[in-house]
A and B are shown apart, each in its own frame.
Chain A
Amino acid sequence: MTVERRGAAVEIAGLRKEHGSGDHRILALDDISLNVSPGEFVCIVGPSGCGKSTLLRILAGLDTQSGGAVRIAAPGWSVVNAMVFQESGLFPWMSVEANVGFGLMTRGVPPAQAKGRVAAALALVGLGKFGRHYPHQLSGGMRQRCAIARAFVTDPAMLLMDEPFAALDAQNRTLLQAELLRIWEDTRKTVVYVTHSIEEALLLGDRTVLMTAQPGRIKKIIDVPFARPRDLLALSASAQFGALKLDIWRVLEDEVNRARAEAQP
């Protein structure tokens, strides 16, 4: 089965990011080059401090690079990207409806039209009955669902996800991973998904970008061979999945040993 591929195209060439200034400068990202095709689901995996969140923030326009180029092509799309944050980032003073509709309100979508789109997005993530609730009345999993609805409702060319399920318990995480894929299958937007879990990256992505820390560099890019739509539970129990996971662990193990050897006097 072929699905029409669509979404933003991303070209990152020689990207570099330094934090701080003068003697306290820290190289957070170094020589990052990566192309993402329209409709591709790319996962970026790396240890904390590898700059993967910084990379995502640069793609979102929330941060600027120190060097190199980022080109995002999204012809015909009115909203280029929408980000889903690790802590949901829902405004506590707004109802679930108002939170989900925020990106429509800011872009001047007429309220009547926005209302219909918000209701549809809430139904899509299984929160149809919670529109009038406030975020503090929802569980962690429901809040992340709400944040996903807020991103999808604006119909962006690209979704940027910063460890969106990292704070959830294992059951909720598995549930939401499957839901995310189900929603994504219908639209096939470009997704850049940051995670520290190799398993999550292999379950969700078309490609996995392995990063190393200090400075953040791309170590290896792995094509994930699993067919879609995926049955996540069956997939995670398969021998092929286990073998691929082991390969990646080996790569990271080498990296850790190398870093340790360099740190010795």
Chain B
Amino acid sequence: MSGVKEMSGKTRERLLYLLSPIALIAIWQLLLMLGIGDRRFIPAPSDIAQRFVSLLASGELEWHVGVTLYRVLAGFVIGAVPAVAVGLLMAMFKPVRIFFDPLIAALFPIPKIALMPLLLLAFGLGDASKIALVAIAVFFPVVVNTYVGAANIEKIYWDVARNYGASPAVMFSRVVFFGALPTIFAGLRIALAVSFIVLVASEFVATKSGIGYLIWNSWELLQVDVMFVGIVTIGVLGLVTSVLFAEIERNTIPWKTE
């Protein structure tokens, strides 16, 4: 059996994954310790780490992270689920495709953050407006990827499904969905990054919570180290969620791994 060998191969891959961020931090620290750069405006990783620990100890950081994660996850689910459904239906039924195509073409290129004032009007200053923004931003990459994935399913699978008596419901849930799944996952990964981008930007205004607020508020107070804690935290959240995502993908698409 080659099980042990495979395990160490995977572990090595995961270690390699951490190499580039660690190298970046090391170079940064080294440069500041050598006196290159002004430490008041660009704090060293060690300064940021200290501030990080103190913000954690006070519970402030956890609170902001919790709020941001809640908004991202809620918006992600609310945006992604209908996007997958619409994308699959577009591939299966031409009228659905003709109906949605111009809408998507027109709305996809609009920077979603530009909708924030509108959403504040519609949903108020609370979580709802941020969740709505994330949902809208997530919808477009997911719907396009789902449609492309479903439309490119090999013809033979449609033939088999039809010849073996698949109803539209079976076609949707057992054939088109799974056939498109690898591409759907690609869309979801893009959407995850996009959702952090728009959420943090939206948290700059009209809110008193979330990582975006932490970054903007510390800028106004000129607490540069807190600002960096916020930026790093977003990076870490992005990294962790993307690794989790890759794990989920590995487990849900067993036929694609070999």
Q: Which of B49-57, B99-107, B160-168 contacts A (4 or more CB under 8 A)?
A: B160-168
Binding site for B on A (CB under 8 A): 57, 60-62, 79, 81-83, 85, 87, 89, 91-94, 102-103, 105-107, 134-137, 150, 154
User: A85–B166 Cα gap in the complex (Å)?
Assistant: 17
Contact among B163, B175, B254, B258 for A91, CB-based, below 8 A: B175
Residues of chain B lying within 8 A (CB to CB) of residue A135: 255
State whether A92 and B255 are in contact (beta carbons under 8 Å apart), knowing that A62-B159, A85-B156, A106-B170 are contacts in the complex: yes
State whether A62 and B170 are in contact (beta carbons under 8 Å apart), knowing that A85-B156, A135-B255 are contacts in the complex: no
Question: Shortest beta-carbon distance, A156 to chain B, in Å?
Answer: 10
User: A92–B162 Cα gap in the complex (Å)?
Assistant: 17
Contact B178 A93 (CB under 8 A): yes
Contact A60 B170 (CB under 8 A): no
Interface size class of chain B, counting residues whose CB lies under 8 Å from the partner chain: 20 to 34
Contact A62 B255 (CB under 8 A): no
Contact A154 B255 (CB under 8 A): no
Residues of chain A lying within 8 A (CB to CB) of residue B254: 134
Question: Shortest beta-carbon distance, A56 to chain B, in Å?
Answer: 11
Question: Shortest beta-carbon distance, A193 to chain B, in Å?
Answer: 16
State whether A91 and B178 are in contact (beta carbons under 8 Å apart), knowing that A85-B160, A134-B255 are contacts in the complex: yes
Residues of chain A lying within 8 A (CB to CB) of residue B179: 91, 93
Residue with the greatest number of chain B CB neighbours at <10 A, chosen from A93, A102, A150? A93
User: A62–B160 Cα gap in the complex (Å)?
Assistant: 9
* Residues of chain B in range 116-163 having any CB-CB distance to chain A below 8 Å: 156-157, 159-163
The residue on A at minimum CB distance from B169 is A106
State whether A60 and B163 are in contact (beta carbons under 8 Å apart), knowing that A91-B157, A93-B255, A106-B170 are contacts in the complex: yes
Offer 10 A-B interface pairs, CB within 8 angstroms, sorted by A.
A61-B162, A83-B159, A87-B156, A89-B157, A89-B159, A89-B160, A91-B178, A92-B255, A102-B166, A106-B167
Contact among B163, B255, B258 for A82, CB-based, below 8 A: B163
Q: CB of B181 within 8 A of chain A?
A: yes
The residue on B at minimum CB distance from A105 is B170
User: A85–B157 Cα gap in the complex (Å)?
Assistant: 10
User: A94–B174 Cα gap in the complex (Å)?
Assistant: 9
Question: Shortest beta-carbon distance, B81 to chain A, in Å?
Answer: 20
Contact among A57, A92, A154 for B164, CB-based, below 8 A: A154
Question: Shortest beta-carbon distance, A90 to chain B, in Å?
Answer: 8
User: A114–B161 Cα gap in the complex (Å)?
Assistant: 17
Residues of chain A lying within 8 A (CB to CB) of residue B156: 85, 87, 89
Residues of chain A lying within 8 A (CB to CB) of residue B255: 92-93, 134-136
8 more contacts with CB within 8 A, not counting A83-B159, A91-B157, A94-B174, are: A57-B159, A91-B178, A92-B255, A93-B255, A106-B161, A106-B164, A106-B167, A107-B165
